[in-house]
Structure 1
C-alpha cells in the first residue's frame, strides 16, 4: 500500500480552515517567509500560490524552510499513516522513530528491512523527498526543541539527549531548522521545571478527542506487579531501553495530552522512550477517520458516540506482548498478571534501585529462553510454548520489532507450537499496533456481538480497516470495569 501525492487543493482548504485534524499529516511551506507551519497555524493564511505541501517536516527542512516558532509544527502528533500502512516506507518510518538510525546507522536500518542502503534511500526519497538521515535529523531537532523549551537542562545535555554527535552539530541543526540559536529557543521560564531531580517531565500531545484516563485505566487493569504500577490516576512502568532500564509515569494532561515523567539511565534514550510511550498510548491515531467508519455502523454507533476517539493501548515492546499473550491463554487477567510477575525475578533485569513498587524490566527473549520456568506455575505445555517463543524471538526466527512485516510476523508466530490464531492476532493488535485486527474466538467479543445482534462475519466485512478499534468498543461493552471507573453511589 502506498499513498498518492498530496492533494494541494485539499491541503490548502485545511490550511484556510485552520483544521487541527490535519496536524501531523503534512506541513505547509510558505515561500514568501521561508518557514513551514502546521495546517492549524493561527497566523494569517498565506496566498495559495506561495505555498507548497510536504508530507514530513524533514522534507520541508531539506527544501530550505525553517519551522514556525508560533505554531511549532514539530510538536504535533505524528502522522497516523505510518501505523496504518504496512509497506517498506511505513516500516522504515516506525524504525526511524524508534531510534534505529542512531543505534545502527542507515546500514543497520536497511538491513532490518531486508533492503540495501541504496534501495531504501530511493524508496524514501521517491515518496517523502528525503532519505533516512534527513528523517533522523528532523527527529533529533524536534527532541532538542522539546527539551530546550520545557526543561532547564544545560545545552550540552540537551544535545546529548537528542542524539547529536557534537555540540557543533547540535548548534548548526538548531540554527538551520529553527532560524535561531539554542539559547534563543529557551523561554525565560520553561513550560515545566523538568520534574523532580533525576526526572524529566514532558507533554505528549494527541489528536482530539482523546480520553487519557480511559487508556491509562485499561493499562492499569492489566498492570504486572514489579513491572507496572497503577494508583488510580498514574500508570507507571519500567522500560527496557538501549542503554539501560528506565521508569516512566504517565498521567492525564491538559487537553488532549498525557504528562510523562521519565527517569532514564542515560539521556540519549529519551527519543526512544518518547516514541515507545506514544505507541503504548496510541497517541498518533486519527480518531476522526476511525469514528467516521465505525460511528456510521448501526451496531456500533451508540458505543462510538459514548466514547469518541477511543484508542487501542498497545505495548512498549512487541516481544513482551507476545510472551504475555501466551501466559494469558485460558486464564483470567488476574492469573496472567500473577504468572507474568513470577518471571521478573527469574529473568528480568533489575533496576539499580526500586522505584516505588517497580523492581525489574521485562525479561529479554534470550534471558527468558535460558531461564528455568519450572517454578512459575505453568502447565508443561504452556511452559514449552513460552520457551519455544522466547527461543524464536532470540534467534530471529520470529521478528516483532517496530519495522516487522506484519503478515510475516503472524505467519511465523502461527508456525510455533502452542500459538494459535487468537494469540497471533492479539500480538498483531497490541504488539505490532496493527489497526485492522479481529480476534477470532474471543469470548468477550462474542458476548458483545450477541448483545448487538451482530456476528464475526459482520465484523470482518463492515469494520475494516479499523477492526482493532471495534474490538476495543466491544471489549468495553463486555468488561466495562477495564474502561470506566465504577460510580461511587454513596456520594450521590
Structure 2
C-alpha cells in the first residue's frame, strides 16, 4: 500500500483501565487541546450527555504512519488501530498515556478527597484523569505554542504548523489527514515566517533542534527534576511551559500549575493557601481546578 495511505481500522479492543474512570471529562479536555488535521473528535450532542464519545488521531511510528480511534461509551474505553501490525503494541502504549489509563485513582481520591477545598470536586469525578499525549516531543511543541494564548488560538497555530510542515496521510473515514511535523522539519523552519511572535518562533526552532539532535531528551523514565531544569535552560521556556510538558507529556503526578491564571483564580476563590497538602497528586488537583473552564 502506498506510503501515507492507511488501511481500514481493525476491530475495536477494550482498553483496560483502573476504576472508576471519568471518560467524559477526559474527552472534554482532549477536545480542547486537539490539533485540527491531526486529531478529530466526534460531534457532541449537548442534549444527550450519555452519548458515546470518540476521537481519531494520527501517529508517527517506527514503521510509518498510523492512526487510532479511541471511544468512550460511558462504561469502558475502546481502541481501534490502523497501521503496520508491528507498531500496534507501541500505539496501545501511547494511547494508554493519552488517556492516563493506569492512574492510581484510589490513592488520588484518598489524598485529595479529604481536603475540604477539593472534596466536592473529587466526589463528582473520582475517576478524573490527566489529559496526556501520544508523543512527548509533539506535546512539548504544543506547550510552547500555547504560551499566553487561548486553547483555540493554540490549536489554530498548531494546525498551521502541521499544514505547512507535516506530512499528508490518508485515513479511513477522512476525519484526520496529517501527521504532526517531525522535530527535524520544524528545526529547519525560518522563525521569521512561523505563525507566532518572532521570539516564540526562535524558541520553537531552538527547542525542536535540541529534541532532534538529542541535546534535550524528554522521557518518562528520566528524572523529572533533571528534565525540568533542562527545559528551563531552553530559550523562551519558563515554568508554565515546562510544567505543562511535565503534566501532559511526561505524566508527572505532582505538578501544581501555580503560574496558570485559571489555577490561580481557583486557588484564590477557594481560599487555598497550602496546596502542598495535595502532594503527591498535585497534577490531579490542577486538572480539578481546570474543570470549570472546560
Normalization by structure 1: what TM-score?
0.55
> Any stretches of 5+ residues in structure 1 without a counterpart?
1-195, 483-492
Paired residue secondary structure (2:129): coil
1:258 aligns with 2:77: yes
Superposition deviation, residue 283 in structure 1: 0.5
1:287 aligns with 2:105: yes
User: Aligned equivalents of 2:227 and 2:282: distance in 1?
Assistant: 19
CA RMSD of aligned residues (A): 1.6
User: Aligned equivalents of 1:197 and 1:430: distance in 2?
Assistant: 29
Which residue of 2 is the match for residue 235 of structure 1?
A: 55
1:401 aligns with 2:219: yes
Paired residue secondary structure (2:132): coil
Normalization by structure 2: what TM-score?
0.90
Looking at secondary structure, tell me which structure has more helix per residue: 1
Match among 25, 34, 39 for residue 214 of structure 1 = 25
Superposition deviation, residue 242 in structure 1: 1.2
Match among 454, 466, 469 for residue 284 of structure 2 = 469
Superposition deviation, residue 197 in structure 1: 4.6
Superposition deviation, residue 353 in structure 1: 5.4
**1:46-67 Cα distance to aligned partner (Å, 9 max, x none):** xxxxxxxxxxxxxxxxxxxxxx
Match among 406, 417, 429 for residue 235 of structure 2 = 417
1:33-432 equivalences in 2 (<5 Å): 197-231=8-42, 232=44, 233-253=53-73, 255=75, 257-264=76-83, 266-352=84-170, 355-432=173-250
User: Aligned equivalents of 2:238 and 2:66: distance in 1?
Assistant: 33
User: Aligned equivalents of 2:224 and 2:249: distance in 1?
Assistant: 10
Give the greater-gyration-radius structure (CA).
1
User: Aligned equivalents of 2:287 and 2:69: distance in 1?
Assistant: 23
Paired residue secondary structure (1:439): coil
* Contact 1:252-1:258 within 8 A present in 2 as well: yes
Superposition deviation, residue 254 in structure 1: 6.3
Superposition deviation, residue 213 in structure 1: 2.1
User: Aligned equivalents of 1:197 and 1:355: distance in 2?
Assistant: 9
**1:334-361 Cα distance to aligned partner (Å, 9 max, x none):** 1000000011122212214575231111
Paired residue secondary structure (1:200): coil
User: Aligned equivalents of 1:285 and 1:398: distance in 2?
Assistant: 27
* Contact 1:327-1:339 within 8 A present in 2 as well: yes
Superposition deviation, residue 402 in structure 1: 3.5
Runs of 4+ more than 4 Å apart: 352-355
Superposition deviation, residue 228 in structure 1: 0.8
User: Aligned equivalents of 1:353 and 1:280: distance in 2?
Assistant: 20
Superposition deviation, residue 448 in structure 1: 0.7
User: Aligned equivalents of 1:454 and 1:429: distance in 2?
Assistant: 21
Match among 421, 432, 437 for residue 255 of structure 2 = 437
* Contact 1:225-1:357 within 8 A present in 2 as well: no
User: Aligned equivalents of 1:294 and 1:371: distance in 2?
Assistant: 44
